Amino acid sequence: METHMRFRSRNIFWVLFLTLTKSSSSTTFGVSEYEDWESVDIADSILSYRNEVGDMEEKEWQMVQTKGNQFVVNDQPFYVNGFNTYWLMVFAADESTRGKVTEVFKRASSVGMSVCRTWAFNDGQWHALQKSPSDYDENVFKALDFVVSEANKYKIRLILSLVNNWEAYGGKAQYVKWGNAAGLNLTSDDDFFSHHTLRSYYKAHVKTVLNRVNTFTNITYKEDPTIFAWELMNEPRCNSDSSGDGLQDWIKEMAFYVKSIDPKHLVEIGLEGFYGPSTPQRYQLNPNSFAQQVGTDFIRNHQVLGVDFASVHIYPDSWISQSIADSHLPFIKSWMEAHIEDAEKYLRMPVLFAEFGVSAKAPGYNSSYRDNLINTVYKTILNSTKKGGSGAGSLVWQLFPDGTDYMDDGYAIVLSKSPSTSSIISLQSTRLALFNSLCSKKCRWGCKKRNVLEKVSYHDEL
């Protein structure tokens, strides 16, 4: 057993205990707010959660699954508070920066984060994983092995994305370059979705990654419960086909292909959440008119067989206006609520808000605004969670360790330098852990403990 995991379980227990036993004058919820509870129920719930964490340390993890509109582990709800750090594999490939991978997992674990989304691709670039179609750098693959192994040590699950829509780390543009180098006459990066040769390149990569045997753990990726889900592509768009038919066909083929190799893990697409031609009545919810022209369709795409949960991203400072505006926070709330409603009514699956954040480079930015934005996302998740809804969690973009400022795209959160943000993240983790422990799937949100959840108020100020 790892020493840091023993400390983590103890810390979570005491955070839960202190959170529940604050005085009524506190801005957080206190015991006095729940005078109709039996105190023994509260204590039992906390102790039960502590024991569950301890049990998880002692036995093998189980795969994350879906049941209705929830993520579940061992038939118990698993609501997510997590983060993105896309560059973990590249940092692990260099001995001088490998320690930063451990550091980011350690920091995330200290505030209770349970899921990390990162890249399982780097195509034809510096420290490339895939140097050319089906030609891999073993040292970089071992770096990805290290990332998976290290995540397991800190009990953090991984969403592994398999290719990029954008040119960073190669993406679909690199696949087109490879195709042209092989004698194909390709004229658009969107040929990635339609040309059979490029589809075969992508499928070969999928097969290689899913069948990889980790050199640190000796566990095949497709058998490893450390992996939360496979993501088909980061933010797929097919601007050349606004009907959405081309991307829809690609999603159908690739979701089926991933499941044919690995039926145990969850699969998601990687969408930003824009509404498309199948739901024109929802166009008004899109952040701008361009969003309905990029070939994606939130409802239609997520109805594909083999897709297990929905993904949505949230970037008002990119989509609406670069300057911070009063309209941004209301947009976030309505954007999230619309997708949660659709996931419940039409998709009948969980929805994960897999990227959200604000750039420090945006005019009008300050750290208080970032905290308000994060709070808005977290409160909307909790409003769904306490009803057993489809709002299954969120992943902030993005968490950085100390000393990596040169990689900052403006969105980096360094917890040691951001105490107020760190407190907000930690509190959300604590509350979701409490939800997960108080209402197991067996009680189906109908037991008396549900009243506990419904009375948990979320404070706006920490």
Active site residues: 235, 355
Question: Residue 400: helix, strand or coil by DSSP?
Answer: strand
* Partners of 396 in the β-ladder: 83, 356
DSSP annotation of 366 reads -
Residues 6+ apart with CB under 8 A from 215: 142, 145
Q: Return the exposure string of 335-367: e unless at least 16 CB atoms fall within 10 Å of the residue's CB, then b.
A: bbbbbbebbbeebebbbbbbbbbbbbebeebee
CA dihedral for 140, 146, 152, 154, sign (positive or negative): negative
Question: Residue 356: helix, strand or coil by DSSP?
Answer: strand
295-to-255, 306, 315, 367, 423 alpha-carbon distances in Å: 17, 20, 19, 35, 39
* Partners of 80 in the β-ladder: 393
Q: 211-220: long-range contacts at Cβ-Cβ below 8 A with a sequence spacing of 24 or more?
A: 211/261, 212/141, 212/144, 212/145, 214/145, 214/148, 214/149, 215/142, 215/145, 216/145, 216/146, 216/148, 216/149, 217/145, 217/148, 217/149, 217/152
Residue reference for tokens 């227990």: 13
Instruction: Give the closest residue to 429 by CA, choosing from 382, 390, 368, 461.
Output: 382
C-alpha–C-alpha distance, residues 154 and 22, integer Å: 29
Q: What is the DSSP string of 429-460?
A: HHHHHHHHHHS-GGGTT-STHHHHHHT-PPPS
C-alpha–C-alpha distance, residues 340 and 348, integer Å: 10
Alpha helix locations (H) across 21-63?
39-58
The strand order across the sheet containing 76-77 reads 65-67, 70-73, 76-77
C-alpha–C-alpha distance, residues 280 and 293, integer Å: 12
The H-or-E segment that residue 109 falls in is helix 98-110
